[in-house]
Chains A and B, each alone.
Chain A
Amino acid sequence: MSHSRLFARLLLQQNGVRSCYTASRKNLYIDKDTKVICQGFTGKQGTFHSQQAIDYGSRLVGGVSPGKGGRTHLGVPVFNSVKEAREGTGAEATVIYVPPPFAGAAIIEAIDAGMPLVVCITEGIPQQDMVKVKHKLLRQSTTRLIGPNCPGVINVSTHIYTHTHKLLRQSTTRLIGPNCPGVINPGECKIGIMPGHIHKKGRIGIGGDPFNGTNFIDCLEVFLQDPKTDGIILIGEIGGNAEENAADYLKQHNSGANAKPVVSFIAGLTAPPGRRMGHAGAIIAGGKGGAKEKIAALQQAGVVVSMSPAQLGSTMFKEFEKRKML
């Protein structure tokens, strides 16, 4: 009986044990100097959000639109392929706004071109396509994927002051797609709610699909080890067990005197079981994946769970106060 072998293999995959892909976690770090290209550059969404990113100060150095290479769009060059774009600009990150039928291939193209960071915004990629992407992804260590179906990444590095609270930070780099707020106010949390955001001064939206490139643990490792990160906000939703795995990880790596405060919100307490709540991965199936269990698991790991997303900022602020971190 090959049970024990299967079991071991299962546990291996389950606990996020070091595979070569985990080596790419360091690519989650971006800053205002990170050179970004956009795949699907000349499309409607690509154009809209690239312009937003440029206005915001992101270093958008070019884009990919097969067949339109050689042109200029939004003031930067257009290339026919990711490989050409990378060679032509030295870009280290790409954001993908390609429609679902072609998005899987776009991600694979970026992996083949050795792009260190790929952020895929597209919602609606068939699961089979993403399974193939993941297969490739997990067997290499150069490329890190965030998403798909995610709002993107932001790194925040400048303080701005409001009242007497130094907690507000203005984002200066924006690889983001829709719903990018970038500001946490202790009084009123102005963040859009999407699954899998981990805030610190940066914010990574990991997306709502069942098969994605980056999970909570990937982000937690980066943030826990980053000396500039003071606190972490983790936003989750029903479906799967990523939050439970994150809780386990926190128990092991974020306990004791030096533990960083982690505040969380889990969406879907009122979601009826068996229905897919919008996101492909947001479903309570077989009695598993419910919000209550996730909240309990996180609380056991020392996470402060807020019942309202609007209070995440103030809850984090209180944690800072408690630990005299202000």
Chain B
Amino acid sequence: MAASMASQAVARGLRGASAKYLFLDKFKCARVSSRRWLNLQEYQSKKLMQESGVTVQRFYVADNPPDALQAAKRLNAKEIVLKAQILAGGRGKGVFNSGLKGGVHLTKDPSVVGELASKMLGYSLTTKQTPKEGVEVKTVMVAEALDITRETYFAILMDRACNGPVMVGSPQGGMDIEEVADKSPELIFKEVIDIFEGVRDDQALRMAANLGFKGPLERQAADQIKRLYDLFLKVDATQVEVNPLGETPEGQVVCFDAKISFDDNAEFRQKAVFAMGDMSESDPTETEAAKWDLKYIGLDGNIACFVNGAGLAMATCDIIDLHGGKPANFLDLGGGVKEKQVYEAFKLLTADPKVEAILVNIFGGIVNCAIIANGITKACRELELKVPLVVRLEGTNVQEAKRILSESGLPIVAANDLDDAAKKAVAAITRK
């Protein structure tokens, strides 16, 4: 029995949800990466698209089986696709702990939707991209399944080399775009967009034609392209990737899936978008750190880092590695860090069971070293520091800071420079 085109479309749409990278180095311009920072569920991305007039499959969202059933009936569609909403990809081949196989199902019978939803909602879905225990499914998307006759790829991104927005497209959609870039680079098309002019009509039409849309569909696709660009600007996206941008037998141009990456720097003016962010599938330490305005990224090692300045933080991780150690994290305290943040950061680091030593590397310009010293001593006392602590301080008010640390009575190893600090941290571990 031939798989319906809709199910093929669904399968391909899901492939788009898995993390993948693309670089179009041959054109030395666009580099698309399919990894979400601000994490939005599929239905949230699609809602944003709908609000910008982008054509997506009609859908409802449900968080309980009766609602899912209602939604299916309301859709009044030839065929329905039911999709578990989790951030990780690989949903199609995933398994629920209810026994249900597959996080995405197609059916022509609405009543089946209710039944399936009851085996999804509240259960854990495990896929190749989730942790072993899976992710709890809290919402499902009930959408109109559409047949797809042709799949194209389309993306808009902010590109450094072009100093602004760039559109990238290929008539070969629905598959690994980096393969296309590799094997058939002539099938990748690009348009540089002037930030003040926006997408010109001729650019949109040319891209639509290059994507293979013909006749009335060309104009329709061009219109969709412009709307996607409007969305891109409206939500301060750094990237909008649609794969596939498809053609239906009824002559519609539809965005079957999209991944939107957002500019974190724009959070202050994108409160609604950022409020949708779902942190439940993120690393809990990283989420906690974000609460305190600390930039934290967990790594695999056992030497925790505590640094001000992103460049210095990266360099600190590098130097630890250079001297034979393994950094447990990247942590940038930022410039105007307060004592409370120092305390919370320390709490986070010491709570990590992997951590066997802590390296503090502060080169204070705005940062007042005495504040760091006070925060550290307070944290060490209250949290009963059990691992070796190596501290290298330099900059504003450093003498006062050194005094605070030495008078604290805490077993702190002082270091003179970054190399010295890293060596001591590594030695502190191997000594045990």
Residues of A within 8 A of B (CB): 2-3, 6-7, 9-11, 13-14, 45, 48-49, 100-101, 123-128, 131-132, 134-135, 138, 151, 177-181, 188-190, 192-195, 208, 210-211, 235, 237-238, 240-241, 265, 267-272, 274-283, 285-289, 291, 307-311
Interface string of B219-233 (1 = CB under 8 A from A): 000000000000001
Give the docked Cα–Cα distance between A6 and B321 (Å).
42
Interface range, B side: 35 or more
A271 touching B23, Cβ below 8 Å? no
Beyond A125-B265, A192-B311, list 19 extra A-B contacts (CB 8 Å): A6-B27, A10-B29, A11-B28, A49-B366, A126-B263, A127-B236, A131-B195, A132-B196, A181-B363, A192-B363, A193-B309, A195-B311, A235-B311, A241-B160, A268-B318, A270-B314, A270-B318, A278-B332, A307-B318
Contact pick for B330, options A211, A277, A280, CB 8 Å: A277
Segment at the A interface, from B32-40, B112-120, B145-153: B32-40
Whole-angstrom distance from the CB of B370 to the nearest CB of chain A? 15
Whole-angstrom distance from the CB of A134 to the nearest CB of chain B? 5
Whole-angstrom distance from the CB of A3 to the nearest CB of chain B? 8
Whole-angstrom distance from the CB of A188 to the nearest CB of chain B? 5
A286 touching B31, Cβ below 8 Å? yes
Give the docked Cα–Cα distance between A267 and B318 (Å).
7
B28 touching A308, Cβ below 8 Å? no
Interface string of B131-162 (1 = CB under 8 A from A): 00000000000000000000000000010111
**Closest chain A residue to B178 by CB distance?**
A286
Residues of B within 8 A of A (CB): 19, 21-23, 25, 27-29, 31-33, 35, 37, 158, 160-165, 178, 186, 190-192, 194-196, 206, 233, 236, 238, 263-266, 268-269, 295, 297, 299, 309-315, 317-322, 327, 330, 332, 335-336, 363-367, 394-395, 416-420
What are the 6 tightest A-B residue pairs by CB atom distance, in nearest-first order?
Answer: A278-B310, A178-B365, A286-B23, A179-B365, A285-B33, A267-B314
Which residues of B have CB within 8 Å of A151?
365
Contact pick for B263, options A7, A10, A127, A277, CB 8 Å: A127
Which residues of A have CB within 8 Å of B322?
307-308
16 A-B pairs within 8 Å (CB atoms) are namely: A45-B366, A127-B266, A131-B195, A134-B163, A179-B363, A190-B417, A267-B318, A270-B317, A272-B297, A277-B314, A286-B178, A288-B31, A309-B315, A309-B319, A309-B418, A310-B418
Which residues of B have CB within 8 Å of A208?
310-311
Using known A-B contacts A269-B318, A274-B35, determine if residue A282 contacts B309 with beta carbons closer than 8 Å. Answer: no
Give the docked Cα–Cα distance between A14 and B162 (Å).
8
B21 touching A282, Cβ below 8 Å? no
A127 touching B365, Cβ below 8 Å? no
Whole-angstrom distance from the CB of A195 to the nearest CB of chain B? 5
Which residues of A have CB within 8 Å of B268?
100-101
- Which residue among A48, A272, A277 has the maximum number of chain B CB atoms within 10 Å of its CB? A277
A278 touching B314, Cβ below 8 Å? yes
Give the docked Cα–Cα distance between A181 and B25 (Å).
38
- Which residue among B165, B178, B268, B365 has the maximum number of chain A CB atoms within 10 Å of its CB? B365
Using known A-B contacts A211-B160, A286-B32, determine if residue A271 contacts B314 with beta carbons closer than 8 Å. Answer: yes
Which residues of A have CB within 8 Å of B186?
3
Using known A-B contacts A178-B365, A308-B418, determine if residue A267 contacts B330 with beta carbons closer than 8 Å. Answer: no
Using known A-B contacts A6-B192, A192-B363, A286-B33, determine if residue A277 contacts B310 with beta carbons closer than 8 Å. Answer: yes
Which residues of A have CB within 8 Å of B195?
128, 131-132, 135
B312 touching A270, Cβ below 8 Å? no
A127 touching B238, Cβ below 8 Å? yes
Which residues of B have CB within 8 Å of A274?
19, 21, 33, 35
B335 touching A127, Cβ below 8 Å? no
Which residues of A have CB within 8 Å of B313?
277-278
Which residues of B have CB within 8 Å of A131?
158, 163-165, 195
B315 touching A210, Cβ below 8 Å? no
**Closest chain A residue to B331 by CB distance?**
A278
A135 touching B164, Cβ below 8 Å? yes
Which residues of A have CB within 8 Å of B194?
135
Give the docked Cα–Cα distance between A271 and B310 (Å).
11
Whole-angstrom distance from the CB of A171 to the nearest CB of chain B? 13
Which residues of B have CB within 8 Å of A278?
295, 309-311, 313-314, 330, 332
**Closest chain B residue to A49 by CB distance?**
B366
A285 touching B269, Cβ below 8 Å? no
Give the docked Cα–Cα distance between A123 and B186 (Å).
39
Give the docked Cα–Cα distance between A54 and B347 (Å).
38
A128 touching B266, Cβ below 8 Å? yes
A194 touching B417, Cβ below 8 Å? no
Using known A-B contacts A101-B268, A135-B163, determine if residue A7 contacts B21 with beta carbons closer than 8 Å. Answer: no
Give the docked Cα–Cα distance between A138 and B367 (Å).
34
A14 touching B27, Cβ below 8 Å? no
Using known A-B contacts A131-B164, A271-B314, A280-B264, determine if residue A10 contacts B319 with beta carbons closer than 8 Å. Answer: no
B265 touching A188, Cβ below 8 Å? no
Whole-angstrom distance from the CB of B17 to the nearest CB of chain A? 16
Which residues of B have CB within 8 Å of A276?
37, 264
- Which residue among A14, A208, A268 has the maximum number of chain B CB atoms within 10 Å of its CB? A268
Which residues of B have CB within 8 Å of A271?
314, 317, 330
Give the docked Cα–Cα distance between A151 and B164 (Å).
24
Contact pick for B265, options A179, A189, A280, A283, CB 8 Å: A280
Whole-angstrom distance from the CB of A37 to the nearest CB of chain B? 20
Give the docked Cα–Cα distance between A36 and B297 (Å).
38
Give the docked Cα–Cα distance between A265 and B418 (Å).
14
Which residues of A have CB within 8 Å of B264?
276, 280
Whole-angstrom distance from the CB of A182 to the nearest CB of chain B? 11
Using known A-B contacts A13-B162, A101-B269, A177-B365, determine if residue A285 contacts B21 with beta carbons closer than 8 Å. Answer: yes
**Closest chain A residue to B190 by CB distance?**
A6
B265 touching A100, Cβ below 8 Å? yes
Give the docked Cα–Cα distance between A282 and B311 (Å).
9
Which residues of B have CB within 8 Å of A134?
163-164
Whole-angstrom distance from the CB of A101 to the nearest CB of chain B? 6
Contact pick for A189, options B297, B312, B417, CB 8 Å: B417
Contact pick for A193, options B29, B161, B315, CB 8 Å: B315
Which residues of B have CB within 8 Å of A275?
297
B314 touching A10, Cβ below 8 Å? no
Which residues of B have CB within 8 Å of A282?
310-311, 314
B28 touching A10, Cβ below 8 Å? yes
- Which residue among B196, B320, B335, B336 has the maximum number of chain A CB atoms within 10 Å of its CB? B335
A126 touching B366, Cβ below 8 Å? no
Give the docked Cα–Cα distance between A100 and B263 (Å).
13
A177 touching B366, Cβ below 8 Å? yes
Using known A-B contacts A138-B163, A177-B365, A180-B365, determine if residue A124 contacts B265 with beta carbons closer than 8 Å. Answer: yes
Give the docked Cα–Cα distance between A292 and B396 (Å).
34
Using known A-B contacts A190-B394, A270-B299, determine if residue A126 contacts B314 with beta carbons closer than 8 Å. Answer: no
Which residues of A have CB within 8 Å of B330?
271, 277-278
